[in-house]
Amino acid sequence: MEKGDLKILNKGEEEEMELQGYRLCRWRLALVGFGVLCTGGFLLLLLYWMPEWCVKSTCTRTTARDAKVVLLRSTDEFRRWFLARVRVMLAPGSNPFHSLETQTTSPSSAPSLSSHSCTFSNSASPPLANGHTPHPSDGIPAQELIARFSDYQPTQIRYFTFHSTKYYWDDEMQNFKFLTGLEDLQVSCSSIHSEHSAGLSRNLQEYRRLFFGVNEIAVKVPSVFKLLIKEVLNPFYIFQLFSVILWSVDEYYYYAVAIVFMSVISIATSLYTIKKQYIMLHDMVATHSIVRVSICRANNDIEEILSTDLVPGDVMVIPSNGTIMPCDAVLVSGTCIVNESMLTGESVPVTKTNLPNPAPEQQGEVNSAYNTEEHKRHTLFCGTNVIQTRFYTSELVKAVVVRTGFSTAKGQLVRNILYPKPTDFKLYRDAYRFLLCLVAVAGIGFIYSIVLSIMNKVPAKRIIIKSLDIITITVPPALPAAMTAGIVYAQRRLKHIGIFCISPQRINICGQINLVCFDKTGTLTEDGLDLWGVQRVENGSFHLSEENAYKENLVKTQFVACMATCHSLTKIDGQLSGDPLDLKMFEATGWILEEATEEETSLHNQIMPTVVQPPKQLLPPEANLSAEQDMELYELSPAYEIGIVRQFPFSSAHQRMSVVARLLGEKRMDAYMKGAPEVVASLCKKETVPEDFAEVLECYTKQGFRVIALAHRRLEAKLSWHKVQNISRDHIETNMEFLGLVIMQNKLKAETPGVLQDLHKANIRTVMVTGDNMLTAISVARDCGMIPPKDTVIIADAILPHDGQAAKITWRYADKPSKTTQLEEINISLEDVNPLEEPKPQEMYHFAMNGKSFAVISEHFPDMLQKLVLHGTVFARMAPDQKTQLIETLQGVDYFVGMCGDGANDCGALKRAHGGISLSELEASVASPFTSRTPNISCVPSLIREGRAALITSFCVFKFMALYSIIQYISVTLLYSIPSNLGDLQFLFIDIAIILVIVFTMSLNPAWKELVSRRPPSGLISGPLLFSVLTQILICLGFQTITFLWVRQQPWYTVWTPLTDVCNLTSHLNKTDLNDTEMDDHNIQNFENTSLFYVSCFQYLIVAVVFSKGKPFRQPSYKNWPFVVFTVGLYCFLVFIMFFPVQSIDELLEIVCVPFIWRVNLFLIILVNAAVSVLVETIVLDIVLRKLVFSRDKQSNSGDTPAAPTLQGGVDVRVYKFLLCCLRKKTPKARYMHLAQELSVDPDWPPKPTTTTEAKPHTQNGSSHQIAINS
């Protein structure tokens, strides 16, 4: 048996995990049970919180194959532990894709498929007594199915469920793996048509359901009881329960009741919020998730079943009136119009065509393995709305089910919401460290109180209570609620300005953002495109540009025919709908689109084509005829109509779309194509492409226009309608004739330049990530101010290895700036190491690259990629997954990244960024932490400002709560020495009337009105914050100690008893009142207690005012009127009861009367304390130390963009570099700053124009790629 049997699950994927096998050990289990009894159940709680301890303490290691329990650990930065129980299932076969008729009587001799097929047999499985209990949702029980196939020996299959996914043991892989669906077979497109389009028998369907389960995305709403138990078992509430029990034993009933009351409210609020979120998600998922569907059986029968019974391989009939897709399925016949807003964020109808079925002679690249991503234009995704279908009469619109349940696209989205990654932020890590420090302080107090109590011969019960009580004082139970207050208020303010948040913890992280990525179309620019003009080509040369194509002389040209036919528009409820670009282009022609009705289609044995025709006023006038002749010849006169016979939809991979069309009356068909100019030109005959094509295209793209190229080809006469339906697009899209360019204008949104300027002023980098053309993107970046006019843009063109040559990067300038830039000088900002105040220099160069180059550099130049993103500003032609990869790369060099997109292809990037803001309110934005109702980027600075305000509020609250616990700890520790303590109602007054009121009002400061260049610190463990907290602790300790010692030196001081009269009140009191006064068992009433109570109460208010900072991240505290009102009110109340004692209040708070002169002295102590606290915090910390000692710390947190300073006239570069080396003794914490330092002294950076960088193979020592630079 392999003891070190460690398996990797989901290798290379986002959910990669380490897996270890364990089996239960009875003697360990008995030992743990005994420990649970001895600790009163606390050990059980500890094992509940720590799953790895639970498994390791009750189980022994074994191989993954024989495991009863698996221990999982994520391989990401969070390294979280999970445990899952391995179950055993009986099935009549070992592989879901085997045919039951081919199963043999031995599971070990089950027929094997190709090398990629999976076998889940396990002849050495444990007996069924410990095995699988069929779940009601598992469909037909395994035993019932086995009974039907009693001739076959049942196979035991081992599996476990984790995060709504079943993992099955695979003997071939010797590991657990999950089943996705039909893609696991790596089926080719032709085999889907030939082998999987007939449907499944009922038995085979039920057999597969054993493995794939019910086709349902089940979001179970937990019962209130379950949620309550889970919430109450939180360590924070367990600590509160411990505190309440302790206070009750010590007869601190009021405070115990108050804490219980607060906890009940907190738990009730939390339960309501969690339950509401579950219900919302359940309702969103459950909508149309269970429907009745028609499927084809293997014997060609049509049967109606519930969608929950679908399995991969079923053939589903898509109804003509549309449906909500209950699974992922690939179209094998017919066409569908689909609204994919649930997935893409765009409510633009998309045309889905049937999967190509290449003929045997066309096998090869065309007949590649089916993949949902590559063949998404043929795939109907779960949750999307099929609006209408187009079909043959003899053949229904059919789709083969490829994925079901949580494996579908919608299922993956729901899983990401149900099981999100934890938010990793330095603030929270530091908060836990700080709490550990408080626990350490509490430990010192614990030991101190025990020693002191023993010396004072205090009873054992009293020693235990007093010692444990000091722990509850040092670690404040109200800390988490207090920390959340600022975030809740920020969330409310964001909602007020139209920004909705589904992940409140991210608000704090947004305060750290120092780089924002923007999508271009619909985000920086307007969503719609306007036709600027057209430029036709004839005989291999360009005509002059024309404003529009709505002209009589152009109506019958191939150019206009291409504009009118090459699109995926459709009519829904009489309205043209489809891609905005297609819509604008078609509307510019003025043509009319007509679609066949269902009645017309049913009269033919083929799909009636969509027909387009020009308006009659544009057609040349017919010959003059008499009225009678006109009526007779009307039916015979050939109308100018073009029928669209077949569409090859737009594909981002191909960057083009094409159609096959036929002019009414013509025998031969025409192919029309439109797409990215470079791609279209490459597919055209060279002689038809103008020689100045590149120059003309560059001229338009530099001006920021969106350019579309058109092309045409006359097809061979032998191509019939039926042949066209099965022909590959590669056969059509070749040897085209170049027709010309359509120039579309994409205007900047009015708010864009101003917002980007505000971000630049705040030293927040801006990056463009778009799917558009590179030069267009660079032009837009210049227009909106992302790239200053004088800055140079260096384009990185990367080429994959070919013909034995290594991968290369060619460097070239996008355009030549009017003034030559001295790139040889130091080009990286030194602000992170230079303590001198200097104006921020401008960036001198920017890198730009397309998605293809990004992929090559990521694979072959990984070290170079980090250097490029340091100055990368434009990333064009980026696929959705590349956008996500870019976000990860930027985060890898320690940027805090924001992402703003319209939700179309940005879902992954929005989710991965520290702060993702979707400008779309559609369902796709459920994956984005923030959604803005304002459809422009003005929401970005607002979010960052609120994030900074919430972050500073969290710091203020944490510092205040830390000081509150320490001040109370000091008071109690001093009083323990006499021995005494604070009274129950004194604790209550401090904790409720002062602390909670102050905490919940000091968090109300709104954000500062503008973004400043300084960033708040990211963690509590920083110089200024530690200095602030420690100095205030020392100040409070000093003044409390002075008060405690000074009061004992007063001439009137004596040990207080009920008969003590230092205020000469005897004449006003009745003798019987004094005799009736009970003795104070706990020695609460004494002069030390009263003095420390007054001083400490004022200290809470002093530190609250001192820590409640305003500018530059929050509005000043005097504008926070609730805070001002309550603070001033508490000051007045405390001064009043100190100088004008009220007997009822004194008795309630257990305060004793002290001479007037001592009250004056106390007031002077408080005034001096306040003055010293304010002086240290504002003058010493904010002005002196922050500028001198902490300046480097401040700059390392400022998020300044690496930029290029110009060296002033007479400064010697060598001297500058020497100073740089002297200042660079401390390496910056942020990786991007460290890179900036390295590049600042690299003479070969940035790369010079017209040079090439080659990748060299890995050296033996495993070092990174070597770079060779060739001119």
Active site residues: 519
C-alpha span between 775 and 676 (Å, rounded): 12
- Is residue 496 within 8 Å of 930, Cβ to Cβ? no
Quick check: 981 and 1082 in contact, CB under 8 A? Answer: yes
Q: Let me know how long the chain is.
A: 1271
Listed residue (101, 107, 304) closest to 207, CA to CA: 101
Cα dihedral 724, 729, 731, 733, rounded to 10, equals: 120
Contact, 8 vs 19, CB < 8 A?
A: yes
- Residue by residue, DSSP assigns 482-519 as HHHHHHHHHHHHHHHTTEEES-THHHHHHTT--EEEE-
Q: What is the rounded distance in angstroms from the CA atom of residue 936 to the CA atom of residue 933?
A: 9
Neighbours of 491 (CB within 10 A): 18
Nearest CA-CA partner of 928 in 938, 918, 919, 937: 918
Q: Which residues contact 112 (CB under 8 A, 6 or more apart)?
A: 119
Q: What angle do CA 236, 237, 241 make, to 5 degrees?
A: 125
Taking the CB of residue 1222, how many other CB atoms lie within 10 A of it?
A: 9
Residue 136 makes CB contacts below 8 A (sequence gap 6+) with none
In the DSSP assignment, the letter for residue 182 is G
Q: Give yes or no for a contact between 520 and 770, defined as CB atoms under 8 angstroms apart.
A: yes
Nearest CA to 711 out of 686, 755, 665, 680 is that of 680
C-beta contacts of 660-666 below 8 A and 24+ residues apart = 660/715, 660/724, 660/732, 661/561, 661/565, 662/609, 663/561, 664/638, 664/639, 664/640, 665/638
* CA–CA distance, 404 with 313 (Å, rounded to integer): 10
Q: What is the CA radius of gyration of the chain?
A: 37
Q: Are 660 and 671 in contact (CB under 8 A)?
A: yes
Contact 161, 138 (CB under 8 A): no
Indicate the helix (H) or strand (E) that contains 214: none
Contacts of 901 (CB under 8 A, 6+ apart): 518, 519, 523, 909, 910, 916, 917, 918, 919
Q: What is the C-alpha end-to-end distance of the chain, expressed in Å? A: 60
d(CA 1028, CA 1181): 7
Q: Cα separations (Å) of 451 from 458, 471, 520?
A: 10, 15, 69
Contact 764, 515 (CB under 8 A): yes
Can you tell me which residue has the tokens 């379950």? 226
- Residue position matching structure tokens 């003055």: 1171
DSSP states of 1046-1071 as a string?
HHHHSTT-----TT--SS--GGGS-H
Q: CA angle, corner 966, sides to 964 and 970, nearest 5?
A: 120
CA dist 233 to 33, 47, 85, 238, 803, Å? 19, 12, 22, 6, 63
- Tokens 């520790």 correspond to 973
User: Which H or E run includes 288?
Assistant: none
Helix (H) or strand (E) holding 797: strand 792-799
